[in-house]
Structures are given as C-alpha cells and as structure tokens.
C-alpha cells in the first residue's frame, strides 16, 4: 500500500495544542491522526454492519407479522406474569436466606 498525503487547514492554536498533547503521549500528530482515521473507519464499518443487521431483523419481524405469525396480547401478558412471579419468588428466597 502506498502512502498518500492528506492536507487540511487548522487553526494555529489548535495545531499547537494538538502537537503538545501528542508529544505528551510520545506520539507525533501524524501518528495520532492516522490512529483517529483508522478508528473512525472501523466505527463506521461497525455502525453499517449493525444497521444492516437491524434492518434484517426488522424485515424478519415484518415478514413474520405479515404471514400471521403473531403472539396475542393475552399470551404476552401471561408470560410476563409468570416471569414477574418467578422474580418475586427468587427475591423472597434470597431475602429469607
């Protein structure tokens, strides 16, 4: 991979503060900027991957609902009630120990 030059303007005070901060970490400003760029690209890739996964999950849910594969509110409430009762039972068991 060949190197390329990236040129941009920045306020002189910011440049001086950045250079000082970089030196405090025993790094050059260029090294830190390359690190920041790599981190930014990685974060964007992770964000795009998560977004694609989320959209697939939503589509799966929509397809399932459109096919009539739904859970009734009564079934959800019954399951939630059982879950709450189990949590309360565990809380009582821990409290009496």
Residue 26 has pLDDT above 90, yes or no: yes
Measured in degrees and rounded to the nearest 5, phi and psi for residue 71 equal -110, 130
Cα 85 to Cα 6, 63, 75, 94, 95, distances in angstroms: 61, 33, 15, 14, 15
- Model pLDDT, residue 96: 75
Question: What mean pLDDT do residues 57-74 have?
Answer: 95
- Model pLDDT, residue 93: 80
Q: What does the pLDDT look like over 75-92, one tens digit per residue? A: 999 999 999 999 999 888
Residue 95 has pLDDT above 80, yes or no: no
């Amino acid at each position: 991979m060949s190197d390329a030059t990236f040129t941009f303007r920045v306020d002189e005070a910011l440049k001086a503060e950045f250079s000082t901060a970089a030196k405090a970490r025993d790094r050059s400003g260029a090294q830190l900027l390359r690190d920041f760029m790599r981190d930014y690209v990685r974060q964007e890739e992770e964000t795009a991957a998560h977004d694609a996964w989320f959209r697939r999950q939503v589509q799966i849910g929509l397809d399932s609902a459109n096919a009539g594969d739904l859970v009734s509110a009564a079934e959800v409430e019954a399951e939630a009630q059982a879950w709450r009762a189990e949590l309360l039972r565990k809380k009582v068991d821990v409290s009496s120990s």
